[in-house]
């Protein structure tokens, strides 16, 4: 006997309802289990692992639960975690496991300040060093005690800046570049037009290294209670130091295995031999998931923390050899629109960790930020680097903060055009072109620019440079001649940028948040809620709300990133690899407002 149509429709509706409710219930159960697994003990040691490049913020793959444990904490993660821990009565001590840290001087300096804040609250901070180098040791010196891995070696061999020059090897295969440079200190063209560094490059990099090295020797020797000359002598004459000699020199306090140290801390907190049931060590990821993130709000008022991290690109998806996307115009627009539409957001803090990038994209970002700053107070916080196009974006700030060792400035423009006519001749490649318009084929990579086209190429770079220094002059209220005297591609530390009038104050992220609260006349007796942009969704939120790439795409991208990090660390790639990649593939002219090089402490 056939069922009635009404009965069939009812069954289908029930089936649809079941298919909808079951996944939702499963998600709710998973969410509850995930949250319950992050209940913290009443007393514990906060155990943070610091390694890698200290990205400013986490990527999307970090939100996937099965990969989050392998993803290093970002700089902002660490800053907010340490800020929480300083006031959290449950946190009795901190253990920092430091090894393989490759970070800019300003990031290490800001972390040192956060560690000092924790110590000022009477909480002991211990550093455990595994195969440490200069960067690891510099950060560890901020702690109360340094424990070195038993049997290991401490490599303190100083600082260096290295640039590779490709002109000769590329010339051998028939590739060369034509360049426009505004001005002489904008040295990003040099690897492709020279066989060695210019005097201006050595002047800039030498000055920055002097500042960083002076900070390194002064801070580490002062914290360890040894003379500056002694530390300098160890670096110059010994470099590779065993755990026993490191203790003799006063560089470390003791040596132990990680297992021994953690068991000792466990016994200290619990008074018992550690077992799986009374583990008193809590990881940074567990702590982050169990506290109000990123800061406990005590009222309705909010501050939007908008981060520009990575090279500035025109559109989403442009990346450095597939290793990671830059910050694009549309993403910033979405962040600003959301922050301005939220009536509870009283002020904006723009956090910049960018060497710059596409000149026109940088100018468009500044225009959007200037418009936003008219509606709500905007304060800028410079992280490791805020240079060239990154500095241009900072011009929107009512107040601009830089860490003393932030790398900033690099106000200038350069452009490179590849031409492969010699390569074509070597390979015998044939080419016929039909054009309409006298200059239709002028920018082809198959031939050099002729005199007229080259003059236009250079003139266009000069116009962008003039526009750039004009923006700086208006924002910083400086005469054009004064701006030009500190521009031309010159690079500054945060301390020297303050003296040059390019920034307003030295300080870190929390200094900028405090200044934004004052500008917005917020209630200073209550902590505001911090809203992070671009929005960082949890894996639960992405499952519920969906993602443009879909879950398989997200998982695939996350695994790809993880594998690439294992086999080809990002630090081995130049910060301008994205530009060179696009340049070589397309042959187009690109106008860049970008920092020509990086300084990383290793």
User: Which of 333, 360, 367, 370 lies closest to 594, judged by CA?
Assistant: 360
The alpha carbon of 525 is separated from its chain's Cα centroid by a whole number of angstroms, namely: 31
- Contact in structure between 178 and 448 (CB atoms under 8 Å): yes
Show the beta-strand stretches assigned E in 102-136. Answer: 124-129
- Contact in structure between 124 and 95 (CB atoms under 8 Å): no
For residues 64 and 52, what is the distance between their CA atoms, to the nearest angstrom?
Answer: 19
The sign of the CA dihedral 375, 380, 386, 391 is positive
DSSP 8-state symbol, 319: B
User: Which of 299, 353, 377 lies closest to 79, judged by CA?
Assistant: 353
Kindly report the CA angle at 535 between 475 and 110, in degrees rounded to 5? 60
Structural tokens at position 533:
């942009």
Active site residue 107: no
> Coil, strand or helix: which one is 92?
strand
Q: Residues 325, 331, 335, 340: what is their CA dihedral angle, to the nearest 10 degrees?
A: 160
Is residue 252 left, alpha or beta, with left meaning phi > 0 and alpha meaning psi from -120 to 50? beta
388, 403, 493, 597: the catalytic one is 388
Active site residue 346: no
- Contact in structure between 55 and 88 (CB atoms under 8 Å): no
The Cβ of residue 232 has, within 10 Å, a number of other Cβ atoms equal to: 15
DSSP-assigned beta bridge partners for residue 354: 386
The Cβ of residue 272 has, within 10 Å, a number of other Cβ atoms equal to: 11
Rg (CA), the chain: 27
Q: Tell me the HSE value of 288 on the side-chain side, using a 13 A CA sphere.
A: 22
For residues 351 and 76, what is the distance between their CA atoms, to the nearest angstrom?
Answer: 10
For tokens 């074509």, what's the residue?
424
367-372 long-range Cβ contacts below 8 angstroms, 24+ apart: 368/329, 368/332, 368/333, 368/336, 369/332, 369/336, 369/393, 369/396, 370/395, 370/396, 372/336, 372/339, 372/340, 372/348, 372/396
DSSP-assigned beta bridge partners for residue 308: 352
User: Which of 567, 529, 360 lies closest to 460, judged by CA?
Assistant: 360
Please state, in angstroms and as integers, the Cα–Cα distance from residue 570 to each residue in 101, 181, 439, following that order. 12, 27, 39
Please list the active-site residues: 186, 388
């Amino acid at each position: 006997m056939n069922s009635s149509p009404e009965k069939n429709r009812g069954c289908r509706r029930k089936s649809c309802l079941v298919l909808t409710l079951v996944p939702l219930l499963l998600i709710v159960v998973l969410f509850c289990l995930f949250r319950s697994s992050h209940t913290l003990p009443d007393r514990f040691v906060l155990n943070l692992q610091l390694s890698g490049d200290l990205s400013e913020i986490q990527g999307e793959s970090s939100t996937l639960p099965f990969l989050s444990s392998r993803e290093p904490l970002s700089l902002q993660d660490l800053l907010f975690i340490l800020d929480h821990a300083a006031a959290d009565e449950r946190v009795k001590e901190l253990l920092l496991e430091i090894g393989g840290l490759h970070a800019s001087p300003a990031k290490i300096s800001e972390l040192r300040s956060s560690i000092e804040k924790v110590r000022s609250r009477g909480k002991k901070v211990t550093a455990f060093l595994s195969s440490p180098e200069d960067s690891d040791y510099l950060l560890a010196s901020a702690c109360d005690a340094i424990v070195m891995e038993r049997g290991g070696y401490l490599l303190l061999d100083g600082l260096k800046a290295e640039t590779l020059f490709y002109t000769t090897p590329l010339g051998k295969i028939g590739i060369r570049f034509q360049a426009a440079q505004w001005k002489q200190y904008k040295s990003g063209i040099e690897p492709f037009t020279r066989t060695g560094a210019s005097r201006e490059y050595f002047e800039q990099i030498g000055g920055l290294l002097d500042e960083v090295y002076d900070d390194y020797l002064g801070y580490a020797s002062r914290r360890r209670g040894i003379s500056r000359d002694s530390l300098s002598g160890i670096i110059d004459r010994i470099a590779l130091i065993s755990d026993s000699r490191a203790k003799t020199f006063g560089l470390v306090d003791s040596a132990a295995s990680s297992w021994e140290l953690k068991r000792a801390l466990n016994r200290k907190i619990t008074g018992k031999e550690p077992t799986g049931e009374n583990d008193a060590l809590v990881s940074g990821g567990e702590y982050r998931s169990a506290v109000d993130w990123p800061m406990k709000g005590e009222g309705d008022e909010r501050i939007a923390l908008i981060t520009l991290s990575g090279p500035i690109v025109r559109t989403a998806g442009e990346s450095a050899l597939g290793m990671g996307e830059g910050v694009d115009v549309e993403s910033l627009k979405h962040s600003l629109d959301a922050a301005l539409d939220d009536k509870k957001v009283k002020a904006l803090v723009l956090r910049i960790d960018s060497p710059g990038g596409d000149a026109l994209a940088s100018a468009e970002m500044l225009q959007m930020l200037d418009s936003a700053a008219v509606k709500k107070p905007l304060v800028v916080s410079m992280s490791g680097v805020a240079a060239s196009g990154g500095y241009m974006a900072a011009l929107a700030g009512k107040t601009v903060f830089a860490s003393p060792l932030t790398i900033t400035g690099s106000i200038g423009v350069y452009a490179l055009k590849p031409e492969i006519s010699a390569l074509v001749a070597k390979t015998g490649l044939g080419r016929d072109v039909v054009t309409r318009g006298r200059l239709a084929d002028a920018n082809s990579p198959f031939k050099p620019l002729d005199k007229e086209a080259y003059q236009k190429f250079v003139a266009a770079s000069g116009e962008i440079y003039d526009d750039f220094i004009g923006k700086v002059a208006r924002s910083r209220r400086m005469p054009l001649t004064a701006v030009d005297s500190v521009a031309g591609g010159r690079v500054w530390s945060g301390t020297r940028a303050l003296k040059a009038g390019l920034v307003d104050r030295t300080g870190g992220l929390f200094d900028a948040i405090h200044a934004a609260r004052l500008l917005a006349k917020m209630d200073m007796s209550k902590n505001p809620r911090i809203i992070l942009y671009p929005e960082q969704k949890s894996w639960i939120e992405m499952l519920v709300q969906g993602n443009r790439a879909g879950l398989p795409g997200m998982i695939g991208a996350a695994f790809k990133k993880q594998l690439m990090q294992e086999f080809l660390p990002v630090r081995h790639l130049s910060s301008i690899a994205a530009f060179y990649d696009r340049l070589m593939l397309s042959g187009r002219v690109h106008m860049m407002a970008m920092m020509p090089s990086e300084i990383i402490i290793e």
